[in-house]
Amino acid sequence: MTLLSFQSGERFIASSSEALRKAGITLTVGYDFRVYKELLEDARPDHLIGLPFDPVAHDLSENNAFWVVGRNSKGEIMHTQAMRMLALKGAKLAEYLRRSFVEFPPPGVDIDFHRSRYRAGPGSHRIAGDVCYHGEFWVGATPREFKTAGLSSLLGRYAFWQAMQHWDPDHIIAFMTNAVVYKGFPARHGYMHTEPGTLRWFINGQDAPVEGFMAYMDREDLRFILDMPLSDRSSRAA
């Protein structure tokens, strides 16, 4: 585990802890994705676990992945997200995803993999080294409270901070549908780069594809976002 030594990480965790306390939200970080999968079956039965974090498909442990679960003051699960290191094995991200994009499908739909495709953007040709994938972001109960307090932005940054604590990655990436991106999701979370047209998923029996962006940050971006006062981010995180 690599611990942050720069002051911004300390400032962020102090301010975020106070904001979460006021909102009555408790965050738990875990590593057993079998436990995580069981939690989801009760907490978000309409949102299946994504293939990138399915313990049946991948060997996940504290060495390469973690999950975050948030509970409200009643103890109810109202938030999830997860991070996982990708095994690029010296390749650029573009090369890795050309081979492996089928491992990142949207959950709960019947994908036609023969028609679906990945398109490498300029960023993916530059991204290499230790790369972390960010997914599973879900907010269930009390969404209005989250919008009012800017907690959606806080939660995204919390996962960035945890990834820096665990692995200090060179980059963090995420995939988001066009609809989510157009609603400002990457900006609320602090992602500083997005590439359109990265993924095109065709669903069996449907003609129109589901298209998505890749969002990404490098280590300097992460430090910049974590150094930004929480009030600056939260005030924009409607």
Q: Write down all domains in the chain, each with its CATH number in brackets.
A: 7-234 (3.40.630.30)
Location of structure tokens 């995420």: 174
Cα separation of 19 and 115, whole Å?
Answer: 45
Backbone angles phi, psi at 143, to 5 degrees: -65, -30
pTM > 0.85? yes
DSSP structure string for 140-200: -S-HHHHHHHTHHHHHHHHHHHHHHHHT--SEEEEEEEHHHHHTTHHHHHT--EEEEEEEE
Each residue's pLDDT, cut to its tens digit, for the chain (238 residues) gives: 333 444 556 778 878 888 898 889 999 999 999 999 999 998 988 888 999 999 999 999 999 999 999 999 999 999 999 999 999 999 999 999 999 999 999 998 999 999 999 999 999 999 999 999 999 999 886 545 555 457 888 999 999 999 999 999 999 999 999 999 999 999 988 999 999 999 999 999 999 999 999 999 999 999 999 988 766 555 444 4
